[in-house]
């Protein structure tokens, strides 16, 4: 049957196993039970499990991919699991088990084998829509209304694993040189089609021991994220604010774009996330970055900088629904109420951060959500209420920066990236100039 994943493109390689299949299936079952409580992000729960359990790299890859496959296909697998026997989480783990079928069969009872063979006979056309799109009901209507015929291509892309992009730190090296260096370490990459800083990998090797990584020449960053930083077009000697800097993915790109000159404030309400920026900053060679933990978006420190800043990026807290390829648990952890709270927060942050800009300055509002409520609706309301901000066409900005085919990345005045069209996560950005 087409739904079961027995080793995906990113799954573990064929070879010797260090564990009996039943022990591995048990490990998946125990972990899945914890993940499906949805009280913490899945990646955190998986990492904790790996710290507590001794598993080899291949077994870890299988367990992680099994969990993520179940999260991606939860509606379908829950439906199929109704008809089997034994604990639900074990049946879900069997359906998502990310290794060769023969290995899995070594762990199954005769009853389970029969049930799995029956699952294999199920055809997509026999299934209800909810078992094919694997989305929560509340998310289906807004996406269908927005996407029309593109709903199914989007769903398929969101339910597939994501690739892996690197950003080359151009303060340290040129992209072509880093590409050659990686090729010598047998890591094949291609230049990203739109970002001038990006390399797309065709495999997922461990990077953190590579010299290019430890000397700060590369960072893992989706091409879409790179394009958000590019839209800011931060220049030498400027005063720039990354308002929701988090662990600094975009801060590092902005700092390099400023050639390590001027002053770049990295604000965030989470001191913990800003702490994660520090080792990345140390590797990057940037000394123009000033991380500041703020209490909220109206913090006094923001008032003091009002009217003084050349460029502000707001990479707003959002539902993350554009990143379902990497974080499939988010579709189960978000809710209409959470989106409503987020949109209120997004509007408040945008309004407050806009005060920082000096006349002629540039404001970029961005999210990694695919929902209109978090994107166009926020940008539209801000534009209507702030006539001292002129909207800029994102495609003009990117074309001016040398991005070929920039119009294909945009919808109306906005940047709108989609996994099924651009092989990036789903991203949105709106750009204004302060009059």
Ligand X SMILES: C[S@@+](CC[C@H](N)C(=O)[O-])C[C@H]1O[C@@H](n2cnc3c(N)ncnc32)[C@H](O)[C@@H]1O
Which residues participate in catalysis according to the annotation? 368
Site for ligand X in 152-171 (CB under 6 A): none
Give the 3-state secondary structure of residue 263.
Answer: strand
Position among 88, 170, 269, 351 found at the interface with ligand X (CB under 6 A): 269
From residue 345 to residue 384, the character string flagging contacts with ligand X as x (rule: CB under 6 A) and all else as - is ----x-----------------------------------
204-213 burial string, b = 16+ CB within 10 Å, else e? eeebeebebb
3 binds ligand X (CB under 6 A): no
Q: Is 268 annotated as a binding-site member?
A: yes
Distance CA 167, CA 322 (A): 19
Which stretch, 49-57, 59-67, 162-170, 237-245, contacts ligand X (CB under 6 A)? 237-245
What value, to the nearest 5°, has the Cα angle with vertex 210 and ends 204 and 216? Answer: 105
Q: For residues 321 and 371, is the Cβ–Cβ distance under 8 A?
A: yes
Q: Based on CB atoms, which residue is closest to ligand X, 260 or 269?
A: 269
Q: For residues 287 and 260, is the Cβ–Cβ distance under 8 A?
A: yes
Site for ligand X in 286-315 (CB under 6 A): 294, 296-297, 315
What value, to the nearest 5°, has the Cα angle with vertex 397 and ends 396 and 398? Answer: 95
Position among 273, 355, 358, 372 found at the interface with ligand X (CB under 6 A): 273
Distance CA 301, CA 255 (A): 21
Q: For residues 147 and 139, is the Cβ–Cβ distance under 8 A?
A: no
Q: Based on CB atoms, which residue is closest to ligand X, 246 or 328?
A: 246
Q: Based on CB atoms, which residue is closest to ligand X, 59 or 374?
A: 374
Q: For residues 373 and 379, is the Cβ–Cβ distance under 8 A?
A: no
Site for ligand X in 239-268 (CB under 6 A): 243-250, 267-268
219 binds ligand X (CB under 6 A): no
Distance CA 293, CA 246 (A): 10
270 binds ligand X (CB under 6 A): yes
Bind-site residues for S-adenosyl-L-methionine: 268, 315
Bind-site residues: 268, 315
By CB under 6 A, name the binding residues for ligand X: 225, 243-250, 267-270, 273, 294, 296-297, 315, 317, 349
């Amino acid at each position: 049957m087409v739904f079961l994943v027995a080793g995906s493109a990113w799954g573990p390689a064929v070879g010797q196993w260090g564990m009996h299949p039943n022990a591995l299936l048990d490990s998946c079952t125990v972990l899945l039970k914890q993940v499906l409580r949805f009280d913490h992000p899945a990646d955190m729960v998986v990492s904790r499990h790996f710290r507590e359990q001794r598993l080899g790299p291949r077994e870890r890859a299988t367990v992680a991919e099994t969990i993520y496959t179940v999260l991606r296909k939860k509606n379908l697998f829950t439906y199929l699991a109704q008809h089997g026997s034994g604990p639900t989480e074990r049946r879900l783990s069997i359906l998502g088990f990310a290794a060769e079928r023969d290995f899995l069969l070594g762990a199954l009872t005769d009853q389970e084998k029969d049930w799995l063979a029956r699952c294999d006979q199920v055809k997509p056309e026999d299934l209800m829509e909810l078992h094919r799109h694997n989305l929560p009901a509340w998310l289906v209507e807004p996406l269908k209304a927005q996407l029309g015929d593109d709903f199914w291509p989007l769903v398929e892309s969101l339910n597939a694993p994501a690739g892996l992009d690197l950003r080359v730190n151009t303060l340290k090296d040129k992209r072509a040189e880093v590409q050659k260096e990686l090729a010598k370490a047998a890591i094949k990459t291609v230049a990203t089609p739109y970002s001038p800083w990006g390399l797309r990998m065709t495999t997922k090797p461990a990077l953190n021991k590579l010299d290019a990584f430890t000397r700060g020449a590369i960072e893992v960053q989706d091409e879409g994220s790179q394009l958000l930083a590019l839209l800011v077009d931060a220049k030498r000697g400027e005063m720039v604010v990354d308002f929701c800097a988090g662990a600094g993915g975009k801060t590092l790109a902005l700092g390099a774009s400023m050639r390590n000159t001027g002053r770049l404030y990295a604000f965030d309400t989470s001191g913990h996330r800003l702490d994660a920026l520090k080792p990345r900053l140390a590797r990057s060679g940037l000394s123009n970055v000033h991380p500041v933990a703020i209490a909220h978006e109206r913090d006094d420190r923001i008032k003091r900088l009002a009217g003084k800043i050349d460029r502000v990026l707001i990479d707003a807290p959002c539902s993350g629904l554009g990143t379902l390829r990497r974080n499939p648990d988010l579709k189960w952890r978000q809710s209409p109420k959470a989106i409503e709270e987020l949109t209120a927060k997004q509007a408040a942050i945008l309004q407050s951060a806009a005060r920082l800009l000096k006349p002629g300055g540039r404001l970029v509002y961005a999210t990694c959500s695919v929902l209109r409520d978090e994107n166009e609706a926020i940008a539209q309301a801000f534009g209507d209420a702030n006539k001292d901000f002129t909207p800029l066409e994102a495609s003009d900005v990117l074309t001016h920066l040398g991005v070929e085919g920039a119009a294909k990345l945009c919808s109306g005045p906005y940047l709108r990236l989609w996994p099924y069209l651009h092989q990036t996560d789903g991203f949105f950005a709106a750009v204004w100039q302060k009059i």
